[in-house]
Amino acid sequence: MIASRNEGLARELATLVNQQVDQLRKLEATLRQQQTAVIGRDVEAVLASLAEQSEVLDGLRAADDKRTGVLTLLSGGLGLEAGKATLRDLAGALGGTLGDELDSLSATGREALAIVTRVNNDNRRLIEQSLEFIETMLAAASGRAPAASTYQASGVLTRTQIETIVDHSA
């Protein structure tokens, strides 16, 4: 009975982890759409991707809560410390085909998360570059543009503001 309960929990866990991997892939696609929108300066598309990103993240949180509950139950059933066992620990304790499946899903999940993290960081850098461009253009349009960086005798890098002449009549 305990073995079949553990097997049932392990199968449920595998299903939940698979769902999380699918959600991570959906998040990656959403982040890539966001990236395209940021590059194209398409504000509406950026806002739409942010709304979709929020929905996907809500789904990931819900799936993670379920996964954590099942993980805790299965850990206890296998004699592992509840709350400390990882998918790899469970895979090792289960062994067999089910253990191999959990181990594979664990690796797939880590890989999907690494991709999402990389794309998200790329988007952050793109947004920072866009903001820097906008700030530079606003400064130039307002007649206050940053001067080139200069080094003081102490070696400190400084930037000063200089007045620029902008023809606002055109």
DSSP string, the chain: -HHHHHHHHHHHHHHHHHHHHHHHHHHHHHHHHHHHHHHTT-HHHHHHHHHHHHHHHHHHHHHHHHHHHHHHHHHHHTTPPTTT--HHHHHHHH-HHHHHHHHHHHHHHHHHHHHHHHHHHHHHHHHHHHHHHHHHHHHHHTTEEEPPPEE-TTS-EE--EEE----TT-
Q: Is 1.20.58 the CATH classification of the domain at 2-143?
A: yes
Does the structure show a pLDDT above 50 at 1?
Answer: no
* pLDDT of amino acid 104: 94
Length of the chain: 170
Domain ranges for the chain: 2-143
pLDDT digit string, tens, across residues 25-57 = 999 999 999 999 999 989 999 999 999 999 999
pLDDT digit string, tens, across residues 110-165 = 999 999 999 999 999 998 888 888 888 877 777 665 555 655 667 665 655 555 55
User: pTM of the entire structure?
Assistant: 0.75
* pLDDT of amino acid 147: 53
Does the structure show a pLDDT above 90 at 95?
Answer: no
Alpha-carbon distance of 56 to 138, in angstroms, equals: 35
* pLDDT of amino acid 134: 83
* pLDDT of amino acid 161: 54
- Contact predicate 67/13, CB 8 Å: yes
